[in-house]
Amino acid sequence: MFGDSIDPLVKVIIIACFFVNAFIAKDGTALGRRDQIILIIAMGLTLIADIFMVLLHMNVFGLLFFCMVQTAHNYRYTGLARVKIQVAVGAVAFVIATVAGAPLVIALGAAYAFFLFFSVTGSFMAYNKYPTPNNMMIVLGMLLFMGCDIFVGLQNLEIEALSSPGSREFIQRAIWLCYFPSQVLLSSSARKNKNYRDEDNMRRANKR
């Protein structure tokens, strides 16, 4: 279904569609224009990160932009104070890994793991901040995002049990089966849902 059978350019085009999807809010936004703008920035950074990783195979730059992606998501969910902690912890992880002699891409991967942790936990912290179903879309989207990254990590580990062609194919499919739905959910999470849009219309009608 998904995996190496999909051309890398097609994957990036699909991801670009998610970026465009974040702009769509013709019937209003769940929390306002500011929330939508932050989401648009996050999705734009996601597109750039995937261009580096999927098309250009420049994983260092890809990881740098994915760190920015998770910073944007965490900022959207929790605000600047927690983002400062996120960046500080990620920077410390990067320095420790670098001092320990890890290659640059591994050091960035260690930092990214903390960036991801803060944005995923931030989505749970923001659950009551967003109306339903936006809150569920955000939490599920971030969990799938994390699932995708876990499978990416497994793909890059040199473990004998995961080295068979069948295992590699399963992991490759699992990456995209998590990633595509996560971006669908996240890119749609800023717009107003029909259910509470109808409630708004009824409220306006009752005021007349």
* pLDDT at position 1: 44
Q: Please, what are the averages of pLDDT over each run of 10 residues along the chain (208 residues)? A: 71 96 92 97 98 95 98 98 98 98 96 98 97 96 97 78 73 94 98 73 61
Q: Is 182 among the domain residues?
A: yes
The predicted pLDDT at position 154 comes to 87
Q: Whole-angstrom Cα distance, residue 101 to residue 110? A: 13
* Rounded Cα–Cα distance for residues 194 and 38 (Å): 22
When divided into structural domains, the chain yields a total of 1
Contacts of 114 (CB under 8 A, 6+ apart): 86, 89, 90, 93
> What pLDDT, on the 0 to 100 scale, is given for residue 6?
75
3 part of a folded domain: no
Range of the domain at 103: 8-202
pTM over cut 0.75: yes
| Res 198: pLDDT | 64
Q: Is residue 66 part of a domain?
A: yes
User: Quick check: is 2 in a domain?
Assistant: no
